[in-house]
Amino acid sequence: MFGMKFKFSIILSIISIVSSSLPGKEKNEIVATVGTHSISLNQFEERYSGYLFYSGVKDNLTVRQSILNNMVNELLLRYYDNNKNILNDPEYKKESEWTKNQALLAFLKDREIYAKISVSEEEIRDAFVMVNKKIAARHLFAETEEEADNLYELLKIGVDFNYLARQTFSDSVLRNNGGYLGYFSWGNMDPAFEEAAYSMKIGEISKPVKTEYGYSIIKIDDIISDPLLTETQFLNKKHQLERLIKISKKKPSEIEYINRIIDRDKVSFNDEVLNKFLSAFLTENSNSFNEFEKLKSALNPESACAEYNGSTYKVSDLMNWINELPSSYDERIKTLDDLKNIIKGFFIQEKLLQIARRKGYDKDPELLKTSAKMEDNLFLEHKNREIVDNSQVSDSEALEFYRKNVDLFSREKELNVQEIILQDPDSSQVIIKRLKHGEEFGRLAKEYSIRKWSAENGGEMGFAPVSKFGMLKDTLWNSEIGSLVGPIKVQDYYGIFKVLGKINQKPFEFSEIKEKVVSAVRLEKRKPVMENYLKEIQKKINVQINQELLRTFIVAS
């Protein structure tokens, strides 16, 4: 929950937007020097234009200075500090190799899939209606799914959206305005972000949305539609809309392309071997298979675990594949299906990498430039974590934070509920009448409820966190023990519920969650810790900013 890294921190690095020439300025002019390194106006404009585009922030001198400071700080951390521990870290080396492969795969997809997407006239006209609907939204950003889920859980227990924005954004504008992005139209934001936002209502808060750069939790403030649209307006926007539709088609086009090069249905598995492997993997709870000794004792590395296209793959192959994955993938492997998806994923990845190398994409200058940017991002992520994790937190400081924020360190309220799930409203009305006339809930659940696992237990679901009940959580929690609730329509079904028991929210003991508290304190102190760390480096390194150039250059439209 508390090891959060955020988009607008010093590790910010956004894919550049190609811009037109700057009136009166040479792009190779130097806007900053850091020791023996320099930042050209061209490099700064690429970063800054991308930031404005993806964040929705308006151009101003304060934001210019903030982005340039980020770039200066990155150079200080990368070239003027002791980074031996990071560069020699096996996990960092593994992630670095993984990042290079992901860059190559993305480049292949851009050339072989995205460049060949077509758009019809009808699709453009539909998009024209959408683009004239403006939405005002705010968001919280996290780089990983786990961080986003933790933010969402905090929102669900009532933590204020604006408070979380202040904790997550280092950018002063978004930190102080509650993550407010202002009004935007379809095509101005990340496609996944837009797809979620345009399906929401005013006041609604989304679950974490996977975007190109991480995860966003979106809150809709306002929606404005323009009912008066003309053909001239359509023609003026047609080319831009076509480009935006192509972006929205990327994912389905990618799936179609992959299905052409590999038939996932022809992959066969040895479930017995894979189940043994999974059991050993989960028992060891480790992704470090350099020696394979512990797994060797559990099963034969030469055993076949999968077949595809006439080739047999052994347990040793699976060990090697998993060993190539960054350790963050550990928690994704929990079930047999997870393991099978990992295997299919490697089949697909190896096939795509072969195609990319055969076409010479791995030598393309554009790919090498993008790969270098991704490598920088990876390094800065590790560096940021190293600095914050090494910051000192005293026991008294942690205990004080725990006492002031005890709600953040409490077990969630829990409910035990009986349920009867039915397919139609008429049946639900009959059952609720029978229950009110004294018939036993458990017997009717076993006889009529279509959810088999709970029906076998007389409809009893067992104690579970109240958040697991979704839209019903408040209704069920506020109902008296023993009372009947429903029928309530749940998606395409109808539910009748009986509240059996409640467990109120209870704080964890400080000793139980001390590490989490320390992580939370580090998160709270992250900004001053980073600032102080960078100040110490700057004392030894000459940093010069061309303030006049920074102030007067014209941002390309």
pLDDT digits (tens, 9 = 90+) for 61-90: 999 999 999 999 999 999 999 999 999 998
DSSP string, 91-151: HHHHHHHHHHHHHHHHHHHHHHTGGG----HHHHHHHHHHHTEEEEEEEEEESSHHHHHHH
pTM of the predicted model, to two decimals? 0.59
pLDDT values of the chain reduced to their tens digit, one per residue, 557 residues: 333 333 333 333 333 333 333 344 455 799 999 999 999 999 999 899 888 887 778 899 999 999 999 999 999 999 999 999 999 998 999 999 999 999 999 999 989 988 888 888 888 887 777 777 788 999 999 888 888 888 888 888 778 888 888 888 877 778 888 899 888 877 678 878 888 898 888 989 999 999 877 899 999 999 887 666 677 778 877 887 787 787 778 878 888 888 888 887 788 999 988 888 888 777 655 444 444 455 555 678 888 999 988 889 988 888 888 888 887 776 778 888 888 888 888 889 999 999 999 999 999 999 999 999 999 999 999 999 899 989 989 999 999 998 888 878 887 889 999 999 998 888 889 999 999 989 999 999 999 998 888 888 899 988 888 877 877 888 899 999 999 998 888 767 889 999 999 988 888 888 888 988 998 888 888 889 999 999 999 999 999 999 999 999 888 76
For 179, counting Cβ atoms within 10 Å of its Cβ (0-12 exposed, 13-18 middle, 19+ buried), the class is: buried
Rounded distance between C-alpha atoms, residue 18 and residue 46, angstroms: 7
Which pLDDT belongs to residue 295?
54
pLDDT tens for each residue of 161-172: 888 888 888 777
Rounded distance between C-alpha atoms, residue 120 and residue 63, angstroms: 39
Q: Are 487 and 425 in contact (CB under 8 A)?
A: yes
CA 408 to chain centre: 22
Query: Hey, what are 476's tokens?
Result: 């069920």
Which pLDDT belongs to residue 525?
87
Which pLDDT belongs to residue 320?
85
Burial 325-340 (b: 16+ CB within 10 A, else e): bbeeebeebeeeeebb
Phi then psi for 415, rounded to 5 degrees? -130, 145
Rounded distance between C-alpha atoms, residue 515 and residue 398, angstroms: 9
What size, in residues, is the chain? 557
Burial 445-481 (b: 16+ CB within 10 A, else e): bbebbebeebbeebbbbeeeebeebeebbeebeebee
CB atoms within 10 A of CB 196: 24
Phi then psi for 89, rounded to 5 degrees? -75, 120
Locus of tokens 């190896």: 350
Which pLDDT belongs to residue 294?
55
DSSP string, 224-246: EE-----HHHHHHHHHHHHHHHH
- Angle made by CA atoms 215, 329, 6, in degrees to the nearest 5: 30
Locus of tokens 């991002």: 377
Which pLDDT belongs to residue 21?
35
Q: Are 17 and 53 in contact (CB under 8 A)?
A: yes
The set of residues, in sequence order, having a beta carbon less than 8 Å from that of 405 and lying 6+ positions away, is 520
3 state SS of 363: helix
pLDDT tens for each residue of 306-364: 998 888 998 888 888 888 888 777 677 888 888 888 888 888 999 999 999 999 999 99
Q: What's the sign of the alpha-carbon dihedral 53, 57, 60, 66?
A: negative
Q: Are 47 and 66 in contact (CB under 8 A)?
A: no
Rounded distance between C-alpha atoms, residue 453 and residue 65, angstroms: 59
Kindly state the helix (H) or strand (E) to which residue 311 belongs, with its residue range: strand 311-314
Category of 470 on φ-ψ map: left (φ > 0), alpha (ψ -120 to 50) or beta: left
Q: Are 284 and 293 in contact (CB under 8 A)?
A: no
Nearest to 163 by CA among 196, 181, 138, 135: 138
The set of residues, in sequence order, having a beta carbon less than 8 Å from that of 74 and lying 6+ positions away, is 10, 11, 13, 376, 380
Query: Hey, what are 553's tokens?
Result: 């250059």
3 state SS of 206: coil
Which pLDDT belongs to residue 226?
67
For 51, counting Cβ atoms within 10 Å of its Cβ (0-12 exposed, 13-18 middle, 19+ buried), the class is: buried
